[in-house]
Structure 1
Amino acid sequence: MSPVAAAPEAIESNPKDTTRWAAVLAIVGAGIVASLQVGKVIIAAPLLRSDLGLDLASIGTLTAVFSILGVLGGIAAGGVISRFGARRMLLLGLAATGLGTVIGALAPGYAVLLASRVVEGLGFLLITVAGPAALQRIVAARNRDLAFAMWSCYMPAGMAIAMLASQAFGDWHAYWWCAGAAVVLAFVCVALLAPASPGGASLSWRGLRQDTADTLGAAGPVLLALSFTLYSLMFFALFTFLPVLLMDQLGLTLAQAGLYSALASAANIIGNLGAGVLLARGWRRSTLIACASAIMGVVALLIFRSVLPAMPTFLLCVLFSAVGGLIPATLLGTAPLVSPRPALTAATVGLVMQGSNLGQVIGPVTVGGVIDRYGWGAASYIVLAAGLGGLIIAACLRRVRAVHL
């Protein structure tokens, strides 16, 4: 029996499917709203530069805060969520995100804006770890892969919305206020639709250390975290610089580059949902990870080296994004299966998200440095190497004793 099937809090199928799926949509919506807070800084960068006089390094710091907090606090957040309950921590994360957004909208300068991003980042961390933990408790086992596939759409969906919404704003303060309104809406939906989840044993440093040691000592969670690190490195290595690539290499205008980037980011949703369908049809999880990693690495060679005309290159970006979406959905759906014990599901998800955030930190920095020194073509080899690493990790996952890896 898998760890998921053994979890006492897992709710099996019953006639109240509509209520349960409404809760799933509310939780997924909370994730989308959280990722919107990531994308708003990237899209509002020109407005922040002109209004506050910020340089690119300062804007990069505003963006990197989220990932750094995720790298440092993923497992710890899982322990807190296991203790106090996923729904309660999800609501707390939304409240922190909303508070940070309000502080940011009222910020008179960079220092306060950076502090607001720290508050938002703490909320983002709680949301992204509590969301999967909440889904684990409210979805029947046979529907879990689909639910996690829906959840994994939160980042590309939020980023795409942020890119498209940017066309409607000429002032970054208005952008912040609208993002805050979205947080309030998500809070209300989760509060009304998501069922309460029980807390666990009392939280202690000793217990947290033991949970961390147990999670890091298991091969499955570590392999998933490494796989997510490589995926995030590949994905953000391209999408952090995609508007610049489209403008510099393909001659698009800023408006065109923003629209094309949004469409390419949204294509990631296809892969996320496709993973849920393929897993439900019996595909091996390791096979999906291996195939997606290999395709992303090869396609990156063609994209970064600009060997094709503009439109075919853009279509390759769409393919890169869509195929890549198979990986996060598969990893998040697999996390409960490889958790050392049911009580450590949230900690396992936290470790996996730490891997995701680590890739978001090192990918853009590494690729950006390589592009500056050696040109766009050299960056393709970094993504290709990450793709090969994904193949190796997928092979290692086959040896983990869990259900159909």
Structure 2
Amino acid sequence: MRIGVVVWLILACGVVAALHVGKAAIATPMLLADLGLGLGEAGWLTGIFAVLGLLGGAPAGVVAAAIGGRRTLLLGLGVMALAGAAGAAAPSYPILLASRLLEGLGFVLIIVAGPAILERLTTGARRDMAFSLWSCFMPCGMAIAMLAGPLFQTWQAFWWSSAGLAAVSAVLALCCVPQGASLGGRALGQMSGDIRCLLSSRGTPLLAIGFALYSLMFFALFSFLPVLLMERMDVSYRHAGLLSALASAINASGNLAAGYLLARGAGRASLVVIASCVMGVSGIGIFFGLVPAFLTFLLCLLFSAVGGVIPATLLASAPLVARDAALVPVAVGLIMQGSSLGQLLGPVTVGGVTAAFGWGAAGAVVALSAVAACATALLLSPAFSAPRAT
């Protein structure tokens, strides 16, 4: 099996995992009507993923380091398929929420297994491009969920279909991902000292902080983008959803651009600083309403597209901060914990300050986060120039 085909298959598995994240958000109106839920209860069906990612990122990385990325990927896809089927058949909200918790477990396992496999399959510039492709999984999966959700008559049909996709992905991964695609088999006791060094190092926590700040900025906007567009552009709910899907999907262009630029020797710190500045300035223009409605949407596209450079650059830098290749999934797990923290803080912070002070306060939150992201990138410069994990 050609390496390029396997890389695309790993990306497809990530997209399927991200689709499971987004399906609850787009299916919320059907869930409210069918199960009689409140917005708070429906919110937990999406938010449980961020909570699990915050708590389970590093432990999932340890699992991947111990049993190997391929087995971890298959385990994650299997759990997600079974949990999705259980959710589709759930007779009540508590059982549906429990199934979402299990789907979240599968999601965390998949997102640490993917980079572990890519780390072993690729080298040099191809590795940077592979990681940039991998970072596209979230915007692509979320956009597909937003577009596919309205095509289903019931939320149960959506759940069954997503579970089927996970099962098919598991079969393809079983057949196509080579046995030696990632390291594994190291005893936890053997890794404990290396993991402690990784946790106490400067690079890994800073990568996690950088990802947390990016996620805070991204979800500060995208958690409220449909509402913002409906207010500013006077569009319907359906059209606001389509525009939001477009703005989310274009984030992948920044991911791919990062891979292209990194492969040609672009400075990692410079990329993060420039992208953070663009997100900060765009956020000010969006939330303060400084430009006409149509230009506001164009700023949303710019915010998303250029911002996509940051996660691709940070994920591609995980091998630089790990002591050896076996610890890359642990580093990725910690980085994803930072992402989940930002995913939680972004909506909560912006929702609170907007309720108290208006949309302009949300612009201030994004701007301050952008400044902090720039500072984090500069502190990461020594780690960015370190030799890769071997």
Q: Which amino acid aligns with 1:30?
A: C
Tell me if 1:317 matches 2:332. Answer: no
* Higher mean displacement: 226-235 or 334-343: 334-343
- 1:22 partner SS: helix
Q: Please state how far the C-alpha of 1:63 moved relative to its aligned partner.
A: 1.0
Residue 243 (structure 1) aligned with residue 226 (structure 2): yes
Aligned residue number for residue 13 of structure 1? none
Q: Are 1:161 and 2:148 an aligned pair?
A: no
Is the CA contact (8 Å cut-off) linking 1:31 and 1:127 kept in structure 2? Answer: yes
SS at match of 1:282: coil
Does the residue aligned with 2:382 lie in a helix, a strand or coil? coil
In the alignment, which residue of structure 1 is the partner of 2:184? 200
Query: Could you report, residue by residue, the CA deviation over 1:189-246 in whole angstroms, capped at 9, with x for unpaired residues?
Result: 2112111136534544x55654442221111111111000000000011111111111
User: What is the CA–CA distance in structure 2 between the aligned matches of 1:369 and 1:169, rounded to whole Å?
Assistant: 34
Counterpart of 1:194, as a letter, is V
- SS of match in other structure, 2:291: coil
1:74 and 2:49 matched: no
- Normalising by the residue count of structure 1, what TM-score does the alignment of the two structures yield? 0.92
Maintained 8 Å contact 1:76/1:208? no
**Structure-1 separation of matches of 2:239 and 2:55:** 37
1:222 and 2:205 correspond: yes
Shift of 1:307: 2.2
C-alpha separation in 1, matches of 2:318 and 2:55? 19
- What secondary structure is seen at the aligned counterpart in 1 of 2:235? coil
1:341 & 1:316 partners in 2: Cα distance? 40
Matched AA of 2:246: L
Q: 1:202 to 1:149 in 2, by over 3 A?
A: closer
- Provide the C-alpha distance between the structure 1 equivalents of 2:98 and 2:251, rounded to a whole number of angstroms: 31
1:190 aligns with one of 167, 173, 177 = 173
Query: How do 1:4-403 and structure 2 match up within 5 A?
Result: 19-197=2-180, 199-204=183-188, 206=189, 209-400=192-383, 402-403=385-386
Give the AA of the match of 1:234. M
* Letter of the 1:94 counterpart: L
Name which of structure 1's ranges 184-193 and 89-98 shifts more when overlaid on structure 2.
Answer: 184-193
CA distance in 1, matches of 2:383, 2:124: 20
Per-residue CA distance 1:134-179 (angstroms, 9 max, x = gap) = 1111113330000001000000000110111122123111111111
Please tell me whether the aligned partners of residues 70 and 357 of structure 1 are also in contact (alpha carbons under 8 angstroms).
yes
Query: What SS does the corresponding residue of 1:195 show, helix, strand or coil?
Result: coil
SS, match of residue 400 in structure 1: helix
Offset, 1:30: 0.3
Amino acid at match of 1:109: S
Q: Contact 2:50/2:343 (CA < 8 Å) preserved in 1?
A: yes
Query: Does the 8 Å CA contact 1:83/1:201 hold for their aligned counterparts?
Result: yes
More off after superposition, 194-203 vs 265-274: 194-203
Task: Return the offset for 1:345.
Answer: 1.2
RMSD over aligned CA atoms reads: 1.6
In structure 2, the CA distance between the partners of 1:74 and 1:207, relative to structure 1 (3 Å rule), is farther
Structure 2 CA distance for partners of 1:256 and 1:36, relative to 1, 3 Å? same
Count of aligned pairs between the two proteins: 387
Matched AA of 1:268: N
CA contact (8 A) 1:75 1:212 kept: no
* Inter-CA distance 400–202: structure 2 relative to 1 (3 Å threshold): closer
**8 Å CA contact 1:79, 1:211 repeated in 2:** no
Q: 1:271 is matched by which residue type in structure 2?
A: G
**Unpaired segments of 5 or more residues in structure 2?**
none
- For 2:383 and 2:132, the matched residues in 1 are separated by 22
Q: Is the Cα contact below 8 Å between 2:143 and 2:246 reproduced in 1?
A: yes
Q: Which amino acid aligns with 1:376?
A: W
The offset of 1:59, in angstroms, is 1.4
Given residue 184 of structure 2, which amino acid in structure 1 is its aligned partner?
A: G
Tell me the secondary structure at the aligned position of residue 32 of structure 1. helix
Moved over 6 A (4+): none
What is the CA–CA distance in structure 2 between the aligned matches of 1:117 and 1:299, rounded to whole Å?
A: 34
**1 CA distance for matches of 2:224 and 2:15?**
22
Query: Normalization by structure 2: what TM-score?
Result: 0.96
> Structure 1 residues 192-201 or 388-397, which shifts more?
192-201
1:304-343 deviation per Cα after TM superposition (whole angstroms, max 9, x unaligned): 1222222111111000000010001101111001213332
Q: Structure 1: how far apart are the matches of 2:339 and 2:111?
A: 11
Name the aligned partner's letter for residue 99 of structure 1.
L
Structure 1 distance, partners of 2:214, 2:114, is 20
Cα distance change on mapping 1:210 and 1:307 into 2, 3 Å: same
CA offsets, 1:53-112, max 9 Å, x none?
111111121111111111112111111111111001101000011111001101111100
Using the aligned pairs only, state the percent identity.
Answer: 50
